[in-house]
């Protein structure tokens, strides 16, 4: 009496272990992302180019953030003039909005072009390094491609170099750009919110940080793990088809089409099961995100 049940203590220990494992996986993922980014940003031949492009993107993001903040002020003034039925003020606001549009067009163009240029250059550096290591590298006196074929340490290295490198660059770049834009947007609108109510400002910031940390630690590792499994299973399924095509004569001679089909059917069943688990995890994350957005107005004091 007065003690927790054994099952409750076990569930608590499991939850703590999962939390530590999730945090370790997150730190390991961030470390790996920084290593991949250093292939372009820290290389002697591309360091200056990467810094220059990054600086240009930061300046363009700051310009976009300033324009968005100014446009929100114009919208507020426009609604005020509409409520007051002030035609002169409303017409002046329309001219100012036209000026904002003229400023946004070149900023958006150069921002999109610079972002695409940086992604292409980063992917080129990463693919060249991976391909050089795979084709011309040596491990313990053996070629890397020969050692991987014998040991099977990395599955489908051709897909890792050609396709996964592109997805990695696109995902990391989009993540960094979204985080930078979120920080700029928060800083841009923080001044307005502080002038309205400091307590509301600190309440919203604290609530947003709590929701972000909770979603990252609770949903992030599971989604990342399932996504890695999906990529591996899709690669295995594609490799089976490629192997059948390259060895079509031998497969046909030994009447192995039915066996290959059974193997493919098993792989696609595993892929569908993993995809359903991934869909459940994404649905849970979207539900949490939508609920936290709706509850934000209640969380602010």
Per-residue model confidence (pLDDT) at position 4: 42
Per-residue model confidence (pLDDT) at position 6: 45
Note the pLDDT tens digit of each residue in 22-49: 454 555 666 777 777 777 877 788 888 8
* Residues composing the chain: 301
Share of the chain above pLDDT 90, in %: 9
pTM comes to 0.65
In this predicted model, which residue has the larger pLDDT, 14 or 87? Answer: 87
Token pair listed for 226: 């399932």
In this predicted model, which residue has the larger pLDDT, 18 or 108? Answer: 108
Task: Compute the distance between CA of residue 7 and CA of residue 156 in angstroms, rounded to an integer.
Answer: 43
Helix H or strand E segment including 216:
helix 198-218
Token pair listed for 201: 């400002």
Share of the chain above pLDDT 70, in %: 84
Kindly indicate the confidence band of residue 282, based on its pLDDT and cuts at 50, 70 and 90: very high
Q: Rg for the chain (alpha carbons), in Å?
A: 26
User: Taking a C-beta distance cutoff of 8 angstroms, is the pair 217, 23 a contact?
Assistant: yes
Rounded to the nearest 5°, which phi and psi values hold at 60? -65, -40
Q: What is the mean pLDDT of residues 203-214?
A: 84
In this predicted model, which residue has the larger pLDDT, 11 or 269? Answer: 269
Note the pLDDT tens digit of each residue in 75-132: 888 888 888 877 888 788 888 888 888 988 899 899 899 999 988 988 888 888 888 8
Per-residue model confidence (pLDDT) at position 3: 46
Per-residue model confidence (pLDDT) at position 301: 53
């Amino acid at each position: 009496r007065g003690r927790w049940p054994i099952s409750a203590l076990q569930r608590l220990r499991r939850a703590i272990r999962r939390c530590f494992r999730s945090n370790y996986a997150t730190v390991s993922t961030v470390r790996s992302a920084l290593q991949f980014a250093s292939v372009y940003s820290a290389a002697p031949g591309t360091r200056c180019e990467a810094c220059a492009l990054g600086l240009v993107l930061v300046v363009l993001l700051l310009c976009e953030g300033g324009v968005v903040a100014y446009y929100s002020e114009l919208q507020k003034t426009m609604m005020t003039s509409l409520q007051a039925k002030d035609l002169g003020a409303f017409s002046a606001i329309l001219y100012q909005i036209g000026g904002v549009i003229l400023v946004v067009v070149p900023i958006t163009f150069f921002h999109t072009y610079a972002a695409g240029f940086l992604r292409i250059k980063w992917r080129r550096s990463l693919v060249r390094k991976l391909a050089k290591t795979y084709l011309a590298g040596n491990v313990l006196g053996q070629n890397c491609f020969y050692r991987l074929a014998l040991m099977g340490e990395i599955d489908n290295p051709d897909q890792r170099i050609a396709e996964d490198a592109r997805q990695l660059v696109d995902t990391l770049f989009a993540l960094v750009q979204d985080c930078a834009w979120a920080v700029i947007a928060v800083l841009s609108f923080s001044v307005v919110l502080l002038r309205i109510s400091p307590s509301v400002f600190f309440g919203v910031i604290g609530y947003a940080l709590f929701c972000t940390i909770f979603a990252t630690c609770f949903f992030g590792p599971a989604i990342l793990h399932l996504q890695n499994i999906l990529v591996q299973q899709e690669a295995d399924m594609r490799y089976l088809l490629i192997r059948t095509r390259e060895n079509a004569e031998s497969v046909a001679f030994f009447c192995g089409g039915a066996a290959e089909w059974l193997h493919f059917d098993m792989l696609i069943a595993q892929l569908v099961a993993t995809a359903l688990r991934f869909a459940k995890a994404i649905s849970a994350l979207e539900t949490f995100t939508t609920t936290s957005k709706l509850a934000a107005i209640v969380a602010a004091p």
